[in-house]
Structure 1
Amino acid sequence: MKRIVVATVLNQSGVLNKITGVLAKRQFNIDSITVGRTEMEGISRMTIVVNVEDDRQAEQLTKQLNKLIDVIKVQDITDQAIVSRELALIKVLSTAQTRSEIGGLVEPFRASIIDVSRESVTIQVTGDSEKVEALVDLLKPYGIKEMVRTGLTAFLRGSQKQVTDLSSYSLLK
């Protein structure tokens, strides 16, 4: 089963390697991992989608990650109300005749054609993983020449508190 885990970490060299090392050592399969700076100087957030066998294994994962010195906070947000997005760039084979057809196909997904050449069009789509996957399935008959996906980025909805007050975290002082 897939779990969505977010980790707030110090933005330092080697932190990603330490996290993936823990996951590899415990034989967790990473479905996706995204990392980016947050609104706080020196702090980054990782969104990790990982396959686990059961809830016990998911709990063990968060405990192991929380033990790392550069990790401030780890939360499994799978069963909570979240906002999540993924980005995909999809290069699809096209001719002059199929370009407008492809354009009409991507419009309901609020996707956009961001590059056009004689033999292909490149489409950008953002949304939840199911939306991206649905568009990919519709584009397959045209011939997907190349595709790249960012993986999931997520955080809690609304006023739910993601992280405790970080001002007390000793390494930030």
Structure 2
Amino acid sequence: MRKQVYSLIVDNTPGVLSRIAGLFSRRGYSIDSITAGVTADPRFTRITVVATGDEVILSQIEKQVRKLEDVREIKLLKDDDSVYRELIIVKVRVDASHRAEVISLADIFRAKVVDVEKECLMIELTGNQSKLEAFLNLLDGYEILELARTGITGLARGLKDVTYL
């Protein structure tokens, strides 16, 4: 079993994300994460899908996605040739006596404190998955009240695979 990141360029039409997700559910494929957003050209949306499976399943996913009418391009993003990022927002219970410790930890990771309340802090952090996991592991002694993750988004490095639609 391995993880594969698919970067799709699709028509920016109503229901396109639902059709992509529906293909996965109909075929029994699991989605680890999915993100979507309009590109520099508002006619198109970039959808990043992360799936895990054996070589046969991952190959089938690619073939099935390519058949969808809205899909203009699909790229397989490889770890060594791509840049991946994910955003987390985490709300941590922290009293005044420990607030400086958590803020210092956030500073080390170049995270931003985006909200401060009497009993908690809200921290925003962007990075690769290992950076986010390391940060969350260091928060182990604190109570995480809420956590939101965007899922992976990414692009291939360099100019060789740039899409000009």
Range into which the TM-score falls when normalised by the shorter chain: over 0.9
- Counterpart of 1:171 in structure 2 is none
Query: What residue number does 1:116 align with?
Result: 116
Q: Which residue of 2 aligns with 1:10?
A: 11
Other-structure match for 1:71: 71
Change (3 A) 1:80 1:101: closer
Q: Which residue of 2 aligns with 1:159?
A: 159
TM-score by length of 1: 0.90
Matches for 1:1-173 after TM superposition, within 5 Å: 1-52=2-53, 54-163=54-163, 165-166=164-165
SS of equivalent residue, structure 2 residue 57: helix
Q: For residue 145 of structure 1, report the CA deviation from its aligned partner.
A: 0.4
Match of 1:160, as an amino acid? Answer: K
* Letter of the 2:150 counterpart: T
The structural deviation recorded for 1:79 is 4.8
Equivalences, count? 164
Cα offsets for 1:1-27 (capped at 9, x unmatched)? 211011100000111111111111121
Aligned partner of residue 141 in structure 1, secondary structure: coil
- CA drift of 1:41 comes to 2.5
Describe the superposition over 1:15-58 as per-residue Cα deviations: whole angstroms up to 9, x where unpaired.
Answer: 11111111111211111100001111310000001111x22221
SS in 1 for 2:99: helix
Percent identity, aligned pairs only, is 38
Distance 2:42 2:15 in 1: 18
C-alpha distance in 2 between matches for 1:152 and 1:124: 15
TM-score after normalising by structure 2: 0.95
